[in-house]
Amino acid sequence: MDDKQLLRYSRHILLPQVDVRGQEKLLASRVLIIGLGGLGSPAAMYLAASGVGHLVIVDHDKVDLTNLQRQIVHATERVGQAKTVSAAHALAALNPGVRVTTINQKLEGAALEEQIRQVDAVLDTTDNFASRFAINEACVRAGKPLISGAVVRFEGQVAVFVPGGPCYRCLYAEGGGPDEACATLGVLAPAAGVIGSVQAVETLKVLLGIGQTLAGRLLLFDALNMEWREMKLRKDPACPVCGKP
Protein backbone atom coordinates (compact mmCIF):
# COMPACT_ATOMS: atom_id res chain seq x y z
CA MET A 1 0.00 0.00 0.00
CA ASP A 2 1.11 3.54 -0.67
CA ASP A 3 0.80 6.45 1.75
CA LYS A 4 -2.61 7.51 0.49
CA GLN A 5 -3.97 3.99 0.93
CA LEU A 6 -2.52 3.77 4.43
CA LEU A 7 -4.34 6.99 5.27
CA ARG A 8 -7.60 6.01 3.57
CA TYR A 9 -7.79 2.66 5.34
CA SER A 10 -6.22 3.77 8.61
CA ARG A 11 -9.35 3.01 10.67
CA HIS A 12 -9.31 -0.55 9.38
CA ILE A 13 -5.60 -0.89 10.00
CA LEU A 14 -6.12 0.15 13.63
CA LEU A 15 -8.24 -2.96 14.12
CA PRO A 16 -5.97 -5.83 15.20
CA GLN A 17 -8.24 -8.30 13.39
CA VAL A 18 -7.57 -6.46 10.12
CA ASP A 19 -4.22 -4.63 10.33
CA VAL A 20 -2.11 -3.97 7.23
CA ARG A 21 -2.09 -7.62 6.18
CA GLY A 22 -5.87 -7.86 6.27
CA GLN A 23 -6.32 -4.65 4.33
CA GLU A 24 -3.91 -5.91 1.69
CA LYS A 25 -6.01 -9.07 1.51
CA LEU A 26 -9.13 -6.98 0.88
CA LEU A 27 -7.34 -5.02 -1.82
CA ALA A 28 -6.47 -8.30 -3.54
CA SER A 29 -10.02 -9.67 -3.32
CA ARG A 30 -12.63 -9.96 -6.05
CA VAL A 31 -16.32 -9.94 -5.15
CA LEU A 32 -19.41 -10.48 -7.30
CA ILE A 33 -22.54 -8.45 -6.45
CA ILE A 34 -25.67 -9.60 -8.28
CA GLY A 35 -28.35 -6.92 -8.09
CA LEU A 36 -27.94 -3.17 -7.60
CA GLY A 37 -31.19 -2.41 -5.85
CA GLY A 38 -32.01 -1.68 -2.23
CA LEU A 39 -29.56 -4.29 -0.90
CA GLY A 40 -26.86 -4.14 -3.53
CA SER A 41 -26.59 -0.35 -3.25
CA PRO A 42 -25.35 -0.10 0.37
CA ALA A 43 -23.43 -3.37 0.09
CA ALA A 44 -21.51 -2.18 -2.96
CA MET A 45 -20.80 1.23 -1.42
CA TYR A 46 -19.45 -0.20 1.83
CA LEU A 47 -17.33 -2.80 0.05
CA ALA A 48 -15.87 -0.12 -2.22
CA ALA A 49 -15.24 2.19 0.72
CA SER A 50 -13.62 -0.71 2.61
CA GLY A 51 -11.13 -1.28 -0.18
CA VAL A 52 -12.26 -4.54 -1.73
CA GLY A 53 -10.00 -4.34 -4.75
CA HIS A 54 -12.26 -5.61 -7.54
CA LEU A 55 -16.05 -5.45 -7.57
CA VAL A 56 -17.99 -7.14 -10.33
CA ILE A 57 -21.47 -5.60 -10.35
CA VAL A 58 -24.38 -7.16 -12.22
CA ASP A 59 -27.82 -5.82 -13.13
CA HIS A 60 -29.87 -5.79 -16.33
CA ASP A 61 -32.24 -2.99 -15.31
CA LYS A 62 -32.25 0.80 -15.65
CA VAL A 63 -32.58 3.38 -12.87
CA ASP A 64 -36.20 4.38 -12.30
CA LEU A 65 -37.49 7.24 -10.19
CA THR A 66 -39.19 4.75 -7.86
CA ASN A 67 -35.77 3.18 -7.10
CA LEU A 68 -34.35 6.30 -5.48
CA GLN A 69 -36.32 5.90 -2.25
CA ARG A 70 -33.95 3.10 -1.18
CA GLN A 71 -31.34 2.40 -3.88
CA ILE A 72 -28.78 4.88 -2.60
CA VAL A 73 -26.01 4.09 -5.09
CA HIS A 74 -28.10 5.82 -7.78
CA ALA A 75 -29.02 9.50 -8.16
CA THR A 76 -31.78 11.61 -9.70
CA GLU A 77 -29.64 12.79 -12.60
CA ARG A 78 -28.94 9.17 -13.54
CA VAL A 79 -32.57 8.10 -13.93
CA GLY A 80 -32.81 6.17 -17.21
CA GLN A 81 -29.19 5.00 -17.10
CA ALA A 82 -28.26 1.36 -16.78
CA LYS A 83 -27.96 0.54 -13.09
CA THR A 84 -24.47 -0.84 -13.62
CA VAL A 85 -23.32 2.42 -15.23
CA SER A 86 -24.96 4.50 -12.50
CA ALA A 87 -23.46 2.40 -9.72
CA ALA A 88 -20.00 2.39 -11.30
CA HIS A 89 -20.12 6.20 -11.40
CA ALA A 90 -20.96 6.40 -7.68
CA LEU A 91 -18.37 3.80 -6.66
CA ALA A 92 -15.61 5.50 -8.64
CA ALA A 93 -16.43 8.79 -6.94
CA LEU A 94 -16.37 7.10 -3.54
CA ASN A 95 -13.13 5.17 -4.05
CA PRO A 96 -11.29 5.52 -7.38
CA GLY A 97 -8.75 2.91 -6.24
CA VAL A 98 -11.30 0.10 -6.54
CA ARG A 99 -11.64 -1.65 -9.90
CA VAL A 100 -15.27 -2.02 -11.00
CA THR A 101 -16.37 -4.42 -13.73
CA THR A 102 -19.94 -3.93 -14.97
CA ILE A 103 -22.16 -6.64 -16.44
CA ASN A 104 -25.31 -5.08 -17.84
CA GLN A 105 -27.26 -8.27 -18.42
CA LYS A 106 -28.93 -11.05 -16.51
CA LEU A 107 -26.35 -13.69 -15.61
CA GLU A 108 -27.55 -17.20 -16.33
CA GLY A 109 -26.17 -20.65 -17.00
CA ALA A 110 -22.53 -20.91 -18.01
CA ALA A 111 -21.98 -17.15 -17.81
CA LEU A 112 -23.14 -17.10 -14.19
CA GLU A 113 -20.94 -20.06 -13.30
CA GLU A 114 -17.91 -18.52 -15.01
CA GLN A 115 -18.21 -15.25 -13.09
CA ILE A 116 -18.67 -17.09 -9.79
CA ARG A 117 -15.59 -19.23 -10.41
CA GLN A 118 -13.46 -16.09 -10.69
CA VAL A 119 -14.37 -14.44 -7.37
CA ASP A 120 -13.67 -14.89 -3.68
CA ALA A 121 -17.25 -14.27 -2.53
CA VAL A 122 -20.72 -13.73 -4.01
CA LEU A 123 -23.45 -11.41 -2.76
CA ASP A 124 -26.99 -12.29 -3.74
CA THR A 125 -28.93 -9.03 -3.54
CA THR A 126 -31.65 -10.06 -6.00
CA ASP A 127 -35.38 -9.96 -5.34
CA ASN A 128 -36.72 -13.22 -6.74
CA PHE A 129 -36.46 -16.91 -5.91
CA ALA A 130 -35.50 -18.04 -9.41
CA SER A 131 -32.32 -15.96 -9.31
CA ARG A 132 -31.53 -16.95 -5.73
CA PHE A 133 -31.80 -20.66 -6.49
CA ALA A 134 -29.62 -20.34 -9.60
CA ILE A 135 -26.96 -18.32 -7.78
CA ASN A 136 -26.96 -20.75 -4.85
CA GLU A 137 -26.55 -23.77 -7.11
CA ALA A 138 -23.66 -22.15 -8.99
CA CYS A 139 -21.93 -21.21 -5.72
CA VAL A 140 -22.27 -24.76 -4.40
CA ARG A 141 -20.76 -26.19 -7.59
CA ALA A 142 -17.90 -23.69 -7.53
CA GLY A 143 -17.30 -24.00 -3.78
CA LYS A 144 -17.69 -20.24 -3.22
CA PRO A 145 -19.18 -18.51 -0.15
CA LEU A 146 -22.58 -16.90 -0.72
CA ILE A 147 -23.82 -13.94 1.31
CA SER A 148 -27.58 -13.84 0.85
CA GLY A 149 -30.00 -11.09 1.82
CA ALA A 150 -33.68 -10.29 1.37
CA VAL A 151 -35.99 -7.48 2.47
CA VAL A 152 -39.67 -6.65 2.09
CA ARG A 153 -41.99 -4.32 4.00
CA PHE A 154 -40.37 -3.89 7.45
CA GLU A 155 -38.61 -7.26 7.50
CA GLY A 156 -35.28 -8.58 6.31
CA GLN A 157 -32.98 -11.56 6.58
CA VAL A 158 -29.33 -12.39 6.04
CA ALA A 159 -27.46 -15.69 5.89
CA VAL A 160 -24.03 -16.90 4.81
CA PHE A 161 -23.70 -20.19 2.95
CA VAL A 162 -20.24 -21.75 2.81
CA PRO A 163 -18.92 -24.93 1.20
CA GLY A 164 -19.75 -27.99 3.27
CA GLY A 165 -22.54 -26.29 5.19
CA PRO A 166 -26.26 -25.91 4.51
CA CYS A 167 -27.11 -24.06 1.31
CA TYR A 168 -29.98 -21.76 0.37
CA ARG A 169 -31.90 -24.73 -1.06
CA CYS A 170 -31.78 -26.41 2.36
CA LEU A 171 -33.70 -23.39 3.68
CA TYR A 172 -36.26 -22.95 0.92
CA ALA A 173 -37.83 -25.54 -1.35
CA GLU A 174 -37.82 -24.52 -4.99
CA GLY A 175 -41.23 -23.28 -6.05
CA GLY A 176 -42.27 -23.21 -2.39
CA GLY A 177 -44.10 -19.89 -2.67
CA PRO A 178 -44.53 -16.68 -4.62
CA ASP A 179 -41.81 -14.04 -4.66
CA GLU A 180 -42.34 -11.12 -2.33
CA ALA A 181 -41.47 -8.01 -4.31
CA CYS A 182 -41.32 -4.53 -2.83
CA ALA A 183 -43.00 -3.27 -6.03
CA THR A 184 -46.26 -4.80 -4.81
CA LEU A 185 -45.77 -5.04 -1.04
CA GLY A 186 -43.60 -1.99 -0.30
CA VAL A 187 -40.40 -1.68 1.70
CA LEU A 188 -39.10 0.71 4.36
CA ALA A 189 -36.05 2.38 2.82
CA PRO A 190 -33.61 2.13 5.77
CA ALA A 191 -34.55 -1.52 6.33
CA ALA A 192 -32.95 -2.28 2.97
CA GLY A 193 -29.91 -0.28 4.08
CA VAL A 194 -29.62 -2.31 7.28
CA ILE A 195 -29.73 -5.66 5.50
CA GLY A 196 -27.37 -4.58 2.72
CA SER A 197 -24.92 -3.25 5.30
CA VAL A 198 -25.01 -6.52 7.23
CA GLN A 199 -24.25 -8.33 3.98
CA ALA A 200 -21.20 -6.09 3.54
CA VAL A 201 -20.06 -6.82 7.10
CA GLU A 202 -20.39 -10.56 6.56
CA THR A 203 -18.54 -10.34 3.24
CA LEU A 204 -15.57 -8.58 4.85
CA LYS A 205 -15.47 -11.21 7.62
CA VAL A 206 -15.54 -14.00 5.04
CA LEU A 207 -12.75 -12.43 3.00
CA LEU A 208 -10.62 -11.78 6.08
CA GLY A 209 -11.42 -15.04 7.84
CA ILE A 210 -12.27 -13.25 11.08
CA GLY A 211 -15.01 -13.47 13.69
CA GLN A 212 -18.07 -15.69 13.59
CA THR A 213 -20.00 -15.34 10.35
CA LEU A 214 -23.66 -16.13 9.80
CA ALA A 215 -22.73 -19.50 8.29
CA GLY A 216 -25.29 -21.99 9.56
CA ARG A 217 -27.50 -19.21 10.89
CA LEU A 218 -30.35 -17.10 9.53
CA LEU A 219 -30.55 -13.59 10.99
CA LEU A 220 -34.06 -12.11 10.91
CA PHE A 221 -34.73 -8.38 11.29
CA ASP A 222 -38.05 -6.75 12.23
CA ALA A 223 -37.68 -3.00 11.78
CA LEU A 224 -41.21 -2.17 12.90
CA ASN A 225 -40.57 -3.58 16.38
CA MET A 226 -36.77 -3.24 16.20
CA GLU A 227 -36.19 -6.89 16.97
CA TRP A 228 -33.53 -9.34 15.82
CA ARG A 229 -34.04 -13.10 15.86
CA GLU A 230 -31.79 -15.96 14.86
CA MET A 231 -32.50 -19.39 13.49
CA LYS A 232 -30.05 -22.25 13.29
CA LEU A 233 -29.76 -23.79 9.84
CA ARG A 234 -29.14 -27.47 9.34
CA LYS A 235 -27.87 -29.19 6.23
CA ASP A 236 -30.60 -31.18 4.54
CA PRO A 237 -29.17 -34.59 3.60
CA ALA A 238 -31.88 -34.85 0.93
CA CYS A 239 -31.07 -31.43 -0.56
CA PRO A 240 -30.90 -31.80 -4.35
CA VAL A 241 -28.15 -29.15 -4.53
CA CYS A 242 -25.74 -29.86 -1.67
CA GLY A 243 -26.97 -33.20 -0.27
CA LYS A 244 -25.12 -36.46 -0.76
CA PRO A 245 -25.90 -38.20 -4.06
Taking only the tens place, the pLDDT of each residue in 81-118 is 999 999 999 999 999 999 999 999 999 999 999 999 99
> 242 pLDDT band (50/70/90 cuts)?
very high
Q: What percent of the chain has pLDDT over 90?
A: 91
- Sheet with 54-58, strands from edge to edge, namely 99-103, 54-58, 30-34, 121-124, 146-152, 155-161, 217-222, 227-232
Weakest mean pLDDT among 123-127, 207-211, 223-227, 241-245: 241-245
pLDDT above 60 for 208: yes
Q: Which residue ranges make up each domain of the chain?
A: 18-232
CA angle 38, 44, 45 (to 5 degrees): 95
Architecture of the domain whose range is 18-232: 3-Layer(aba) Sandwich (3.40)
Across the range 128-134, mean pLDDT stands at 93
Looking at residue 132, its pLDDT comes to 95
- Annotated catalytic sites, by residue? 182
Check pLDDT > 60 for residue 178: no
Residues comprising the chain, all counted: 245
Tens-digit pLDDT profile for residues 37-90: 999 999 999 999 999 999 999 999 999 999 999 999 999 999 999 999 999 999
**Model pTM above 0.75:** yes
Q: Does 180 score more than 80 pLDDT?
A: no
Average pLDDT over residues 16-38: 98
What's residue 185's pLDDT?
83
